[in-house]
Amino acid sequence: MPSRRDFLRCSLQISAISLLSPWVKASEPAPTLLSAYWGETVNGFGAINGKGVDLPSRGHAILPLPDGEAIVISRRLGLWLARINWQRGELLQLADAAFDRHFFGHALLTPDASTLLTTENNDDTCAGLLGIYEAHTLKRLGEIPSGGIGPHELLWLVPGKILAVANGGILTLPETGRTKLNRGAMNPSVALLEWPSGKLLANYSLPDKALSLRHLARASDGTLGIAMQAEYASASQHRDAPLLALLPPGGERLILAEQPAGLMGYGASIAAVGNEFLISAMRGNQLARWRSNGSPLPALAVPRPAGIASRGQQAWISSEEGGLYQYQAADQSIQRLAGYTQQKWDNHLVLV
């Protein structure tokens, strides 16, 4: 069987992107976005208005820390966590996954920023779990069950008290790589967990078990939006597959949002702008949009949209083809920003 280090062969960089756009007021500091970008080798990579950080394999989500640092989580089936200084372009620490564990790409800080929670898999039992780490040292402190298989993104519903965890329902193991081992027997769910006890408070699922529940965002009215990725057997079923499920405040079940045609069933990322949800429909080349009540808004054309970061009534969208876009909710307009064309951006984008 390949060793752990044998899995770490492709290369990745993290870039700090300073955005100067016509929609940023002169009196406001230019926002900075963090994202991973990737390719077959490190050759040709370079930071855009910031400094890149080389890492051993492809990353996924990035979690900003105070003082110009961030945690990078390796892509599913990940074997490392990295602490970086994105301002200086330095790799500060690389921590391996625990024995018989691997990372699923996302992490979250406790409100006091002292503890890091990661989505992981128990490779022996196949159960999902949340790893618990000291945020600054990346020392592993313990783990709690995630409430399902294949946990992906997690989010605070009540900061420091109640966690929402999107359990994608997909079983993967290191010896078979990213092969999905239970495609015909998936059981995706959104679990609500009490922190720090780990008690399972509720577990929500959809009748259609082929819809993997993956990414989370919360609208201003408290509605939880869940971006999905369809895992049907035939390609034709993906064309109009649902992308968004909703859990209204106090709701007893997940609700499918009304689905526009032709978005191709793959939601790479989700963000909320007020009471509007944005999903990057990467395979449909659209930024898909819904009101928080589930009614669709017209999608906007973006080639291979990837990460989404939002602030106030604005959002920024990266493209796997290298572009960066800015969205204004006030007039529902989108504009490509000049000068960003070189990198193959990964699925997530964060604002610092």
Q: What is the pLDDT of residue 3?
A: 36
Residue carrying structure tokens 């969208």:
317
Q: Quick: pLDDT tens for 64-91.
A: 998 888 999 998 888 999 998 888 888 8
Identity of the amino acid at 307: G
Residue 28's Cβ-count burial label (10 Å; 0-12, 13-18, 19+) is exposed
Q: How far apart, in Å, are the Cα atoms of 163 and each of 107, 192, 200, 208, 280? A: 12, 6, 10, 24, 24
Q: Which tokens sit at 112?
A: 């006091």
Residue 173 CB coordination number (10 Å): 14
Q: Which pTM value belongs to this model?
A: 0.90
Cα 308–chain centre separation = 9
Q: What is the pLDDT of residue 123?
A: 86
Distance CA 92, CA 89 (A): 9
Phi first, then psi, for residue 5 (nearest 5°) are -70, -25
Q: What is the pLDDT of residue 279?
A: 98
Q: Quick: pLDDT tens for 241-276.
A: 999 999 999 999 999 999 999 999 999 999 999 999
Q: Cis check for the bond before 196: say yes or no (omega within 30 of 0).
A: yes
Distance CA 82, CA 92 (A): 7
Q: Is 80:96 a contact under the CB 8 Å cutoff?
A: yes
Q: Is 328:291 a contact under the CB 8 Å cutoff?
A: no
Phi first, then psi, for residue 76 (nearest 5°) are -50, 130
Distance CA 219, CA 276 (A): 7
Residue 79 CB coordination number (10 Å): 19
Q: Is 61:73 a contact under the CB 8 Å cutoff?
A: yes
Nearest to 48 by CA among 340, 302, 327, 280: 340
Low-confidence ranges of the chain (pLDDT < 50): 1-11, 20-27, 41-49
Q: What is the pLDDT of residue 86?
A: 84
